[in-house]
Structure 1
Amino acid sequence: MTDTILEVDGLSVDIATPRGTLHAVRDISFSVRRGETLCLVGESGCGKSMTSLAIMDLLPKAAKRNARRLAFAGQDLSKASKRQINALRGNRMAMIFQEPMTALNPAYTIGNQLIEAYRQHKNASEAEARERAIFLLSKVGIASAAERLGQYPHQLSGGLRQRVMIAMALMCGPELLIADEPTTALDVTIQAQILRLLADLQRELGIAMLLITHDLGIVARIADRVAVMYAGQIVEEGPTASLFQSPKHPYTQGLIDCIPVPGRTVPGGRLGVIPGVVPSLVGDIRGCSFRDRCSRTQPICSQAPPVYETPDGQRWRCILEDAA
């Protein structure tokens, strides 16, 4: 059995708009191994969430997905029927959505929403599903778990709702967990708790995790590998330690320069900044999409940049062969 649980090769997502076709995701490729955490990083609007929705086959109707290969545990998702996808989604592959208040149904209790999917996928009795729900709510740190089953989402705090979402994603024992910015709406203390919880559960249960975030501080603590997205493309990918110690793409360097470093960043001093804004993804995009914001741009940047790779697997898409 292969160690790779998710294979993405040449994934693109196009959306028709009145102004033309929006190329939300542009020919990206990556893989996730069993038990591994891959972090997908980038600014808002770079295509991270669209990537996750494309994998889960949850794209809006106007969006069109194409890929040379999109496979989960060897099964080709691009050729799977709706019935096959439904059998996988929520069962062997699950997702934690960005905002639990919109992902949870306000008209149903927490118990209803946890139990339904488990009974659907596992053909279990209500008693078995209820026992599983109580166990997982306790596992994610929710006290009085049995009593929580009768509550509605609006009766819980943001931190508790996020923990419910994690429990819901784990109900059927998935092999792959996609977490789309699971700490965005939470305060710093709760963020740290949720991240620690995800890391502990992933190690304990051996789940592969695709974590989507724009926070490199989170990445440094939790990721085995990192893929940096910009304007719908992956511009750099590699092991976390290598990427942080020696970022190759100017965009990755800019993101890292924006992070305060204890002992190096002067209190009250100015942090790094990336000038400009992400370009429009409507219509054809030629050459390097970062060239209008890059301090090292050259005339040749108007051409498609080559891809370089180091022996340890760090790859980047840029005319610059070395960041040094």
Structure 2
Amino acid sequence: MAALLEVENLRVDIPLGAGDLHAVRGISFQVDRGETLCIVGESGCGKSLTSLSLMDLLPPKARRSADRLAFDGIDLAKVAPSAMSDIRGNRMAMIFQEPMTSLNPAYTIGNQLEEALLRHRNVSGREARERAVHLLEKVGITGAASRLGQYPHQLSGGLRQRVMIAMALMCGPELILADEPTTALDVTIQAQILHLMIELQKEFGMGMILITHDLGIVARVADKVAVMYAGQIVESGTVNEVFENPMHPYTQGLLRCIPVPGKTRRGEPLGSIPGIVPSLIGEMKGCAFANRCPYTFEACLTTDVPLFETGSNPNAGRGYRCLLSEQQCIENAKEVA
């Protein structure tokens, strides 16, 4: 059975005065129904542009290409704009990072919730309103009917994010893309929103791509993980595989930065990754992580490193992008454990 979403060799290039910015450089992944894929990485690694490219919401100058970009068998790379408009917000929906800039301040919450259902379904205004009230209650907003007449500025950050989740669910999508949906919220509200999204995903059987830089979130909600660095996926696998046996030096470095209760001593400095991310403008050679990696050798500077498949099941998506042997990577991972 084919995956709900299939992405092979996705690239996003943006022309600039100094040359082309290679923002996303040949990434591949799959998402099944009812499965959560977390794409994790530091700011600027290409996570958000990946999600925007799937929704066909890239900036006008950006160029998207892929060997395969299929949603439920539909070739998204070749679909007409009108057909993509029928899919977007209907079968595929997105929850954006900052709800205050994603919600229109000039329209009520009710207007914005009902709009998607009226656009994609043959329903009356009354039915759309009832659906909006039902979903606002489902996402934990009390007095849902009275909220429909309010404007975004009248709601707290947590409530606005719940409205965004309800809006994404209005048409019962098969795939949700959530771009750092809890970044702007305090820790208590973050936990509530994450718990809510997990429960809703199970109830509706949706596939979900969750984009984040928080490995704590990944550990709690992911089925599969794709670690991105400088526009590439440098490691992928199930959440247990990646956390218990990180293969790539970048993943290992990220995990060293996390304080572990009972292991990290008070006052002890946390781990860090020295150096800076390389420029993605113009021609690139070798491993993008070479200038920050403690294991770099000469070939790393000149060889384009593929994503090596590993593990007993070649279809499981376990892989790492490093010239070190699998055994060397395993030995290095023991330092993180």
TM-score category of the 2 structures, normalised to the smaller one: over 0.9
Supply the distance in 2 between the matched residues of 1:10 and 1:86 (Cα, whole angstroms).
24
Residue pair 1:10, 1:69 contacting (<8 A) in 2 also:
yes
Residue 112 of structure 2 is aligned to residue 113 of structure 1: yes
Q: Write the mapping of 1:119-158 to structure 2, written as runs, cut at 5 A.
A: 119-158=118-157
- Give the aligned partner of residue 319 of structure 1: 323
Q: Write the mapping of 1:83-94 to structure 2, written as runs, cut at 5 A.
A: 83-94=82-93
- Give the aligned partner of residue 102 of structure 1: 101
Q: Tell me the TM-score normalized by structure 1.
A: 0.98
How many Å apart are 1:146 and its aligned residue? 0.3
Letter in 2 for 1:307: L
Q: Secondary structure at the match of 2:285?
A: coil
How many Å apart are 1:284 and its aligned residue? 1.1
- Give the aligned partner of residue 250 of structure 1: 249
Cα distance change, pair 306–83 in 1 and its aligned pair in 2 (3 A):
closer
Supply the distance in 1 between the matched residues of 2:266 and 2:206 (Cα, whole angstroms).
39
Residue 287 of structure 2 is aligned to residue 288 of structure 1: yes
- Give the aligned partner of residue 266 of structure 1: 265
Q: Tell me the TM-score normalized by structure 2.
A: 0.95
Residue pair 1:3, 1:34 contacting (<8 A) in 2 also:
no
Supply the distance in 2 between the matched residues of 1:251 and 1:311 (Cα, whole angstroms).
23
Structure 1 unaligned residues grouped into runs of 5+: none
How many Å apart are 1:123 and its aligned residue? 1.4
- Give the aligned partner of residue 59 of structure 2: 60
Q: What is the CA RMSD across the aligned residues, in angstroms? A: 0.8
How many Å apart are 1:307 and its aligned residue? 3.0
Q: C-alpha offsets along residues 238-286 of structure 1, whole Å, 9 cap, x if unaligned?
A: 0000110000000000011111111111122111101111111101111
Q: What is the percent sequence identity of the aligned residues?
A: 65
Structure 2 unaligned residues grouped into runs of 5+: 332-337
Q: Which moved more, 1:310-319 or 1:135-144?
A: 310-319
How many Å apart are 1:110 and its aligned residue? 0.3
How many Å apart are 1:3 and its aligned residue? 4.9
Supply the distance in 2 between the matched residues of 1:220 and 1:3 (Cα, whole angstroms).
26
Q: C-alpha offsets along residues 48-104 of structure 1, whole Å, 9 cap, x if unaligned?
A: 000000000000001010011101001000000011101100000000001111110
How many Å apart are 1:204 and its aligned residue? 1.1
Q: Secondary structure at the match of 2:48?
A: helix
Residue 277 of structure 2 is aligned to residue 278 of structure 1: yes
Letter in 2 for 1:137: L
How many Å apart are 1:321 and its aligned residue? 2.1
How many Å apart are 1:216 and its aligned residue? 0.4
- What number of residue pairs does the alignment pair up? 323
Stretches of 4+ aligned residues off by more than 6 angstroms = none
